[in-house]
Amino acid sequence: MKSDHELIRATAVEIAGRLHSGEITPLDLLDALESRVSEIDAAVNALPILCFDRARDHAKRLMLKPPGGRGRLGGMPVAIKDLIDVAGVRTTQGSRIYKDTVPTVSDLVVQQLETSGGIVYAKSNTPEFGAGANTFNDVFGATLNPWNTKLSAAGSSGGSAVALATGMAWLAHGTDMGGSLRNPASFCGIVGLRPSLGRVAGTPVAAIDRTLSVNGPMARNVEDLALLLDAMCGEHAADPLSSLAPATPFLESVRSGGKPKRIAYSSNLGVTPVDPEIAVITEKAARRFTEAGVIVEEAHPDLREAHECFGTLRAFDFAITKSELLRGKRDLLKPEVIWNIEKGLALTVEDMERAQAQRLAMTVRTIEFFETYDLLLTPATIVAPFPVEQRFVAECAGVKFDTYFQWLAIAYAITLTCCPALSLPCGFTAKGLPVGLQMIAPPRGESRLLSGAKMLEDILGLRGTTPIDPRT
């Protein structure tokens, strides 16, 4: 068996193959991870909740089955974002209100992962209720960017992204409303995918038809990402919006060699400023598709209503999920969460009517756009990692933002269109900080998206730049 160091650097696909062959066991992997977490996490604070005893108990039960009968992941450890319930494991949502909560039932996404042979060993850090794209909270403090520990890891799936970038995870779970998978993937130099609505089942909370936030996979490369998506996806009766897994696994689609014919690149989607260095790096990466004979043009769908629409729908979501906390626990909520709940409570039926019509119009125009283009590429974030003490980005390229989340427009505009989108590492700033390229496909187009991402990943040659040891 290889050493712990060699295991940590191996890809998830490679690890899964060794699990299925019986060359290594889930217990070997848990030992390697526990050692790595002990060595690294104090420097970055990515995995504040560990459950290795639970994980080993699960591994031993799984190992009673033959290696080939342990599910798609075969006993692969997976980190779960601390917004999501794991039975018997502390789940705080980054909030002092829930700092001592231990659920008795796991969320559907965790149940599906465990059915697929995943083993939960840790909960990853998140901002309070996932609000704000900088991972800090009053329970565990801030998660630090491993490329420079003075900087933000973004959020809200920052803990998962940092765990992957530092070799404390091979695979990790995240959630995404306005870029919460894509932003930390960009800042940390890993891959994160926001899937189509219903692709990954989750336990409904507050309403059946909440369609802004989704569960999704995070990994170090595209093939690993596809492996985890295959393990996460599928229909579940308890989530009426969930859909059947595709007939062809996503990992098989990634390896199919399919390529886009025509793609579009936009530095700003017509809705946001962008740091000039980020625009140059992402456009250069996008245009490398031409090396494979792909046509690259500057274009984007009309998303002019994105700010107003997302602001309204996000506020409504906060109101229906957090109003009771505002009434009874206001003193324990951070200011941004209070503001968002109150904005939601002030909405009128006319506000909601307008926002829903705007979302529908943007989605229709985007689907029409994909009749011409196979993929749409943009920066995943409009800035490079910023100082961790800075709660959010207040301005960019001389433009001041109206809200704490407006700097995320290049991601949340895509959320509104119901399209799958991922962040792929595409280069580095002059200071050596990672930059992500957002890649977008039409709804239910994950196979097209992943195969295109794998093609560009091969062209760029950046696979294997993580894991790293934290840097100052």
The amino acid present at 415, given as its one-letter code, is T
List Cβ<8 Å contacts ≥24 apart for 426-431.
426/281, 426/282, 426/285, 426/286, 426/456, 426/460, 426/462, 427/281, 427/282, 427/284, 427/285, 427/460, 427/462, 428/281, 429/277, 429/278, 429/281, 429/384, 430/277, 431/148, 431/384
- Residue at token pair 């039926």: 349
How far apart CA 180 and CA 170 sit, in angstroms, is: 19
391 token code pair: 């709660």
**How many angstroms separate the first and last alpha carbons of the chain?**
33
Peptide bond into 156 cis (omega under 30): yes
Type of residue found at 213: S
**5 near 469, Cβ under 8 Å?**
no
- Backbone φ and ψ of 445, nearest 5°: -100, 30
CA 291 to mean position of chain CA atoms: 29
Phi and psi at 275, nearest 5°, equal: -60, 130
Residue 366 in tokens: 């985007």
Residues in the chain: 472
Residue with the two structure tokens 């990954």: 200
Beta-bridge partner residues of 45: none
Cβ-proximal residues to 329 (8 Å cutoff; 6+ apart), any chain = 97
CB burial readout 71-104, b (16+ within 10 A) else e: bbbbbbbbbbbbbbbbbbbbbbbbbbbbbeeebe
Contact 374, 449 (CB under 8 A): no
Residues taking part in catalysis:
81, 156, 180
153's tokens: 């890891």
Distance CA 447, CA 196 (A): 11
Name every residue whose Cβ is closer than 8 Å to that of residue 388 and which is 6 or more positions away in sequence.
134, 136, 142, 144, 145, 150, 151, 152, 153
Rg (alpha carbons) of the chain, rounded to whole number: 20
Q: At what angle do helices 222-232 and 12-21 cross, to 10 degrees?
A: 60
